Amino acid sequence: MKAMTRRIWYEAGIIFALGVVLGLAVNIQMVIDAFAGRLTSEQPAVTADGKGTDPAGEETGLGIYPVPVLLDEVRELLKTGAVLIDARAVEVYDAGHLPQAVSLPAENLYELLADFVEQVPIDTTLIVYCSGFGCPDSENVAEGLLDEGYTDVRVYEGGFPEWRDSGLAVAKGAP
């Protein structure tokens, strides 16, 4: 019985290893680049016109995802010059938003992106938020920003509700 149990565990290990090998065979380049730091905000180099040469790994076909951040991290990043982006509808933004946040509604994203890119340098740290956990707008806007060439895009999952409920200052109207 013990020998049989050992064998089952051994075979489970083999199956696990097989799955890992298969996954690495398909995604090895992505994993290598992730550990080499090539899928973070430290690259690619910014060209003279302010646009990256390989926005969000487009040329290499690799994916960079928007990094989730918590409230404390948001507050620290704001001290270093990060730009807050509100992905909610304009009416909701006007009713109350995080101080200094820029309105970039998910529903109008592609109409507004060109102006945004003109005004905000490509190497800026961006923090996108919307209506809290489960709200997809912040993710959609963040991915749109990555597609435009920004490489340091964070998503503040707690969003406006957590900021407000933490007792932090809230602004209304345009910044």
Partner 1 sequence: MAGFRFGGCKGGPVSRSGLYFYHFCRLFLGGLFLYAGVVKASDVTVFARDVANYQLLPYAWNYLVAATFPYVEAVAGLLLVLNFRVRPAALLLALLTLLFMVALASVVARGMDIDCGCFNPGQGHTSAALALLRDVGILVLALLTLRLRSRMLS
Cβ–Cβ < 8 Å for 151, 63: no
Q: Exactly one of 98, 106, 122, 130 is catalytic; which is it?
A: 130
Distance of alpha carbon 14 from alpha carbon 134, whole angstroms:
37
Residue 40 in the binding site for partner 1 (CB under 8 A): yes
Closest CA to 156 of 34, 164, 148, 55: 164
Residue 31 in the binding site for partner 1 (CB under 8 A): yes
Size of the site for partner 1 (CB under 8 A): 37
Judged by CB under 8 A, the chain residues 69 through 88 that form the site for partner 1 are 70
Residue 11 in the binding site for partner 1 (CB under 8 A): yes
Distance of alpha carbon 159 from alpha carbon 136, whole angstroms:
11
Residue 147 in the binding site for partner 1 (CB under 8 A): no
Residue 26 in the binding site for partner 1 (CB under 8 A): yes
The nearest distance, CB 69 to partner 1, in angstroms, is 9
Residue 19 in the binding site for partner 1 (CB under 8 A): yes
Q: Is 130 a catalytic residue?
A: yes
DSSP annotation string for 36-103:
TTTTSTT-S-B-TTS-BSSGGGTTTT---PPEEE-HHHHHHHHHTT-EEEE-S-HHHHHH-B-TTPEE
Q: Quick check: helix, strand or coil at residue 11? A: helix
Residue 8 in the binding site for partner 1 (CB under 8 A): yes
The residues binding partner 1 (CB under 8 A) are 8-12, 14-16, 18-20, 22-24, 26-27, 30-31, 34-35, 37, 39-40, 62-68, 70, 132-134, 136, 139, 157
* Residues belonging to the active site: 130
